[in-house]
Amino acid sequence: MAKEPERTPDGRYIVIGGRRWRATDPAIPAEVQSQLRSLLMRARRAVKQALHDEDPAAEKRARAQVQTAKVALGERGDPWWDQTDQERERRWTDGVQQLTETE
């Protein structure tokens, strides 16, 4: 199993190569995290394919999907630690819904 990255003492960030990155919202249920990570990887592959195909419209759509997945995971957008429990749940459920509608 992969080693967990170092975290800041407050748990809000992970540290990779000396650089801080916002951590995934720990309140997201494991099965939802797994689904969102899968959707994120699919979107990243779509970005790669669009770049290979030199298709700017497909690239734009794929990058928007990456953004949606990262926001749903709590890694971008409003900080998850500043959101209520209801806002946090709505963020990840809305993200899953938006990303699965595009399948």
Look at residue 103 and tell me whether its pLDDT is greater than 70.
Answer: no
CA 83 from chain center: how many Å? 16
pLDDT on residue 4 = 84
Residue 62 CB neighbours (<10 A):
22
CB 49 within 8 A of CB 58: yes
Q: Rounded to the nearest 5 degrees, what angle is found at the Cα of 67, between the Cα atoms of 37 and 20? A: 75
pLDDT on residue 90 = 98
Question: Does any domain span residue 14?
Answer: no
Question: Does any domain span residue 56?
Answer: yes
Q: Which strands, in side-by-side order, build the sheet including 6-7?
A: 6-7, 13-16, 19-22
pLDDT digits (tens, 9 = 90+) for 38-92: 999 999 999 999 999 999 999 999 999 999 999 999 999 999 999 999 999 999 9
As for how many domains the chain has, the answer is 1
CB 46 within 8 A of CB 58: yes
Question: Does any domain span residue 97?
Answer: yes
